[in-house]
A and B are shown apart, each in its own frame.
Chain A
Amino acid sequence: MTAPLDVPGSAIDAGPETVLEGADSSVIRGRSLGQIAWMRLKRDRVAMVGGIVIIVLILVAVFAPLLVSWFGHPPAEWHREKIDPAIQAPLGTFGGISKDFLFGVEPTTGRDLFSRILYGARVSLLIAFFATLLCVVLGAVFGMIAGFFGGWVDTVISRLMDIFLAFPLLVFALALGGVIPDKAFGMSGDTLRISLLVFIIGFFNWPYIGRIIRGQTLSLREREFVDASRSLGARNHVILFKEILPNLLAPILVYSTLLIPSNILFEAALSFLGVGVRPPTPTWGGMLAEAVHNYDVAPNFMLFPGLAIFVTVLAFNLLGDGLRDAFDPKAR
């Protein structure tokens, strides 16, 4: 079969590389937009620092027991000998920082702050991750359905989102956290509290991402490739998941990274108001909430959890911002 072209074979001489100006043709061959975003991200040093910090944090959380066994003491172990019995403040400089106790100790109990911060990372990150996951899943599914089908489906889901947005979230979280009994849904203790927090945060936050996804879907729906797919006879779910969803991955990723920090802070706020995970399980928010009453007694007790939250939130924000720039062609 001969290609029915006026100048056979030559119409494609000028390579497609021309579109991506300046890039070496061999370098960009077969790169997806995701890969290009990754290339841009790699150049964004600030975002990369954020990313690296996050990876380190995750590793720290995962290997907390190991790290603690090397550099610290079990998180629940009391060290009264490190405490001035008169004022219950840690002995030694700045909360008793030493090579034995890298971040010093907690007032009163003398527990190793280093290991508590490390263990705290587990819960705080766990909650933030799963809550974000829940938000994203709910938000993406509902947002996509609302935006794609429109009509009454959209009306119902949009109103539902309005309702959730109209709930004073913190008030509700507090209320719900307060009335949940000790045992429920076949769970108890920390598992229940953590699941509950994940549920509260995720369940009440999804409309934010839902709205964004809905908006994006609305505009994606009008893109001609959707019509193209439909005119080929594709069914709705195929269009939704094969055509539209891949285009939503970028905003989902970006908003996830921006949601995680706000969820970390949310957990902290709930802990501060007393509906967080129950002691003695350490969480950053919980520690900070306690430390607020002890900032003079043990400044380290306030500083380190505060710093941990700050660094984590900052890292996620930086990465999120970087991702946004990387995915947004206009941001160049």
Chain B
Amino acid sequence: MTTTNEPLLSVQDLEKHFPVTKGLFKRQVGAVKAVDGVSFDVFKGETLGLVGESGCGKSTTGRLVTRLLEPTGGKIVFEGRDITHMGQGKLRPLRRDMQMIFQDPFSSLNPRHTVGTIVGAPFRIQSVQTENGIKKAVQDILELVGLNPEHYNRYPHEFSGGQRQRIGIARTLALKPKLIIADEPVSALDVSIQAQVVNLLEDLQNELDLTYVVIAHDLSVVRHISDRVAVMYLGKIVEIADRKSLYSVPMHPYTNALLSAVPIPDPKARAKSERIRLSGDVPSPLNPPPACRFHTRCWKAQDICKTVEPPLEQLASGHHVACHFPENAPEPATKTAAATP
């Protein structure tokens, strides 16, 4: 699935800390470490899934990559160019190649604009010349995402959630981007509509040779559309692997727990399943647990987990895990050896 060796997007040690202030002079007393050292590569034509529980920093990562937020640290390289701290002016032409699909089909479309205006906005903002005028171009895109071109003059509120999400997708497609970051593109939609949109995304990828980073919390959706999947926990990536190996041989205990927590729509399955039940909730990113952040909820945790932070290591080909005691690890001996001081 990795077609070239040169990544389209490369993220290294990305950090975003939101300051927390207090007191008379707004002293900074701490930081929400929303994203705290995240690294991954995205290769042309593939889909990278990013999963994790609420608040673990998925959206923040997405917004950092699209530079809607200013990173606190780390590096973002897009098409070989370092865009980590690139000014908005310089960034503008690059934005054509990198677009974002938003989660909420209701708030991501300006209710005061017509579909034509919304989908045509990229052309206007980027001053792109179109062969037969903007209207024609917009109508073509509308058709592409399965909307009726006659909807050009209608307003978002006249559409259902799924249709709105299509409008949002149409907008991101207008400039024929290379990379699309989709932040929970289907989680606001009903199951049946969700499936429509998932299919649409896949079809568009084939048709237009797109690269996706899909952010989601629904593991089954992610599995369905991703080539590779990264699992986040409290601002860090704990496991990243291609789909098949992640879902069939998950190594990080958290990934295991996540997978086993997903309810299976099969009445017979409930009898036979032996579940891993995590206790408690995700800790606050304001005071993340030290070292391995998962140790507070991990059933395999030992003292080392509280003191030494496990690095993200490749344990099988293309399968990186950050854990002292990974499950299903191919060479457990080396791992434990490395872990003992």
**A residues whose Cβ falls under 8 Å from a Cβ of B:** 1, 3-6, 9, 11-12, 14, 16-20, 28-33, 36, 223-225, 227-235, 238, 243, 246-247, 249
Contact = CB atoms under 8 A, between A and B. Distances in A.
For A28, A223, A233, A249, the residue with the greatest tally of chain B CB atoms inside 10 Å of its CB is A233
Interface in B100-142: 100, 102-104, 107-114, 121-122, 125-126, 140
B159 A19 contact: yes
Given A3-B144, A231-B95, A16 B110 contact: no
B262 to A, nearest CB: 25
19 contacts: A4-B144, A4-B206, A5-B203, A9-B146, A16-B154, A19-B159, A20-B157, A20-B158, A29-B154, A223-B107, A224-B103, A224-B107, A224-B108, A227-B102, A228-B108, A228-B109, A231-B68, A233-B92, A235-B88
A11 B144 CA distance: 12
Q: Which 10 A-B pairs give the minimum distances between C-beta atoms?
A: A4-B203, A246-B112, A224-B108, A233-B92, A233-B95, A224-B102, A225-B110, A223-B107, A16-B159, A30-B153
B66 interface: yes
Contact of A229 (B91, B121, B175, B206): B121
B155 A4 contact: no
A36 B158 CA distance: 11
Contacts of B171: 228, 232
Contacts of B189: none
Nearest to B95: A233
Contact of A225 (B109, B148, B153): B109
A30 B154 contact: yes
B107 A33 contact: no
A29 B113 CA distance: 14
B155 A32 contact: yes
Interface string B221-263: 0000000000000000000000000000000000000000000
B236 to A, nearest CB: 24
A29 B140 CA distance: 20
Contact of A1 (B63, B144, B155): B144
B166 to A, nearest CB: 8
Nearest to A36: B157
A228, A229, A230, A238: which has the most chain B beta carbons within 10 Å? A228
A29 B153 CA distance: 9
Most buried by B among A28, A229, A249: A229
B100 A227 contact: yes
B160 A31 contact: no
A3 B108 contact: no
Contacts of B85: none
Contact of A233 (B112, B126, B146, B168): B126
Nearest to B197: A11
Contacts of B82: none
A218 to B, nearest CB: 14
B135 to A, nearest CB: 14
Contacts, number: 117
A249 B112 CA distance: 10
A247 B154 contact: no
Given A4-B204, A30-B154, A227-B63, 14 more contacts: A4-B203, A20-B157, A29-B154, A30-B114, A32-B112, A32-B155, A224-B108, A225-B109, A227-B108, A229-B125, A232-B121, A233-B93, A238-B125, A247-B111
B82 to A, nearest CB: 18
Contact of B68 (A9, A31, A32, A230): A230
Contacts of A12: 146-148, 163
A224 B168 CA distance: 11
B99 interface: yes
Nearest to A17: B158
A312 B225 CA distance: 62
A307 B241 CA distance: 78
Contacts of A14: 160
A16 B151 contact: yes
A228 to B, nearest CB: 5
B199 A6 contact: yes
Contacts of B200: 4-5
B13 interface: no
A328 B92 CA distance: 36
B125 A233 contact: yes
A277 B111 CA distance: 44
A19 B160 contact: yes
Contacts of A232: 95, 99, 121-122, 125-126, 171, 175
B156 to A, nearest CB: 9
B272 to A, nearest CB: 33
B141 to A, nearest CB: 11
Nearest to A219: B107
